[in-house]
Amino acid sequence: MAAVAAATRGWRLLVLLCTAVLATAGAPQPPNIVLLLMDDMGWGDLGVYGEPSKETPNLDQMASEGMLFPSFYSANPLCSPSRAALLTGRLPIRNGFYTTNAHARNAYTPQEIVGGIPDSEHLLPELLQKAGYTSKIVGKWHLGHRPQFHPLKHGFDEWFGSPNCHFGPYDNRAKPNIPVYRDWEMVGRFYEEFPINLKTGEANLTQIYLQEALDFIKRQQMKQHPFFLYWAIDATHAPVYASRPFLGTSQRGRYGDAVREVDDSVGKILSLLRNLGIAENSFVFFTSDNGAALVSAPKQGGSNGPFLCGKQTTFEGGMREPAIAWWPGHIAAGQVSHQLGSIMDLFTTSLSLAGLKPPSDRVIDGLDLLPTLLQGQLTDRPIFYYRGNTLMAVTLGQYKAHFWTWTNSWREFKQGIDFCPGQNVSGVTTHTQEEHTELPLIFHLGRDPGERFPISFVSAEYQDVLSRTTWIVQQHRKALVPGQPQLNVCNQAVMNWAPPGCEKLGKCLTPPESTPTKCLWPH
């Protein structure tokens, strides 16, 4: 750890020195940062990860020119908590993107949720301003839709996209369609000014988002400004969509069409960086917010490769993500790193690239990956898997210990909602919440990536892993200060309709006179 810390300090000093020298010469330093965040894309969706149709040539080439991470994780098996973790470098349990309503419940921000990213959190674009960056988000924000949670109030200079996913269409009376914004101005709504044909899957949104990215890069290059582009598109989130030239072109159906258009778009972004002569001054990272949504498979969901289950679960398929780092001239080509990585590392690594230090007044869970990216170093660190405010599992090295197992409820399962279709592992993929805190289920992910064969409780291997895991979890819980939960409360007045289950719950609170009626979110 001391060697890693020294290497990190040395790199920061080098970045600061280079920035000072190059600023004098008028060169755009520090490096540009481009984070490409997909929505519900699975670990097994790219050719470089073994997808048999091999329909992602640009992303495969990106991996061949950079570094591939086979063991990279989201911070949550659901969209908005994972995005909050990326931009704060902190687990959702710390930054408030979780719920305490019922045990181990996932929670997110549909229109009726009134919470969002707290002002007390320092987001990446806000901190990058100190190093002269101009920042833009393209696509899905998902950190709150009320005015105080707007991206431009949290460090971004530009925004084109939506506060939520492209759900709908709705009736636009009792429940309006979801808005699309350019900065502060609402420029239309999904299914209206921004049409999505649910029958054919045709939508031009990915092309619009691509053009927004290309135009932003060109403008910042002309201004000689370092920039941060957060390209958070949602074509691979059900209902999946693609533009007409890509529809019907994939062996994988409509979901594959969406992936092919994403791949083509990433290729165009990397080509522009090369053509502008700024590829060697641009750090690009590609990943996803959570695993493939198998509940939407096979037509509307992706592949998690050999891993168990998918989105909404804390099995590997729910949180292990595709991940590629690209920085020509700095990251040696064709590398594969077995560093345990996290989406929160993008926060810390981006600050390091900018010559900045993370905030010192709070716990930052993200690791600086520069020693890994530039020198191939590996750092021991745990990966924590949360659902709601419940620690479900932890991974150390190749070992993963489950303290709780659960897919989804019997009620949902009987309605046809299945987070693990075709993957029934007795005693593991349970539809009741099973506690294993005294004797966790432990798997060796190298030998058993599908989490099918728990290590014997009586083995020396189990006892060794248990002792190490117990200590790590004790230290984690001892230092944990949960943030104020942002996803507990729904507001029936926000959309002028009652969220499913609110009437049945019967637990509406009596708010201050100036606040509309609130209802505890039951899911």
What digits encode the pLDDT tens for the residues 394-412? 999 999 999 999 999 999 9
Burial 416-447 (b: 16+ CB within 10 A, else e): eebbbeebebeebbbbebeebeeebbbbbbee
Asked whether residue 138 carries a pLDDT value surpassing 80, the answer given is yes
Tokens of 421: 């279709």
Q: What local confidence, expressed as pLDDT, does residue 492 receive? A: 58
Give burial (CB, 10 Å; 0-12/13-18/19+) of 268.
middle
Phi and psi angles of residue 254, each rounded to the nearest 5 degrees, phi first: -65, -40
> For the segment 83-92, what is each residue's pLDDT rounded down to a tens digit?
999 999 999 9
Q: What local confidence, expressed as pLDDT, does residue 430 receive? A: 96
Provide the 8-state DSSP code for 280: G
Q: How far apart are the C-alpha atoms of 484 and 119, rounded to whole Å?
A: 12
pLDDT band at residue 20 under the 50/70/90 scheme: very low
Provide the 8-state DSSP code for 140: E
Give the active site residue among 122, 142, 145, 154.
Answer: 142
Q: What local confidence, expressed as pLDDT, does residue 494 receive? A: 54
Q: How far apart are the C-alpha atoms of 76 and 313, rounded to whole Å?
A: 9
Give me the residue spans of the domains in the chain: 32-379, 390-479
Q: Is 142 a known active-site residue?
A: yes
Strand partners, 321: 72
pLDDT band at residue 7 under the 50/70/90 scheme: very low
- Which positions make up the binding site for Ca(2+)? 39-40, 79, 289-290
Within this chain, domains 32-379 and 390-479 share the same CATH topology: no
Tokens of 397: 């090295």
Give the active site residue among 79, 165, 490, 502.
Answer: 79
Compute the CA torsion angle 231, 236, 240, 245 (nearest 10 deg). 70
Q: How many C-beta atoms lie closer than 10 Å to residue 485's C-beta?
A: 19
In the chain, count H helices and then E strands: 13, 22
More confident residue, 110 or 266: 266
pLDDT band at residue 186 under the 50/70/90 scheme: very high
> For the segment 197-254, what is each residue's pLDDT rounded down to a tens digit?
999 999 999 999 999 999 999 999 999 989 999 999 999 999 999 999 999 999 999 9
| Pairing relationship of beta strands 489-491 and 320-321 according to DSSP bridges | unpaired
Q: What local confidence, expressed as pLDDT, does residue 516 receive? A: 35
Q: What local confidence, expressed as pLDDT, does residue 111 receive? A: 75
Instruction: Note the Cα 219 to chain centre separation in Å.
Output: 27
Asked whether residue 21 carries a pLDDT value surpassing 70, the answer given is no
DSSP characters for 179-199? EEEETTEEEEEBTTTB---TT
Asked whether residue 392 carries a pLDDT value surpassing 70, the answer given is yes
- Compute the mean pLDDT over every residue in the chain, rounded to the nearest whole number: 90
pLDDT band at residue 110 under the 50/70/90 scheme: confident
CATH of 390-479, one of 3.40.930.10, 3.30.230.70, 3.40.50.300, 3.30.1120.10: 3.30.1120.10
Strand partners, 34: 229, 284
Mean pLDDT of 129-146: 97
Q: What local confidence, expressed as pLDDT, does residue 507 receive? A: 35
Query: For 25-76, where are the alpha helices, taking DSSP H only?
Result: 57-64
CATH of 32-379, one of 2.10.10.90, 3.40.250.10, 3.40.720.10, 3.40.462.40: 3.40.720.10
Q: Is 79 a known active-site residue?
A: yes
Which residues are within 8 A (CB) of 499 and not within 5 positions of it... i.e. 6 or more apart?
A: 110, 112, 490, 492, 519, 521
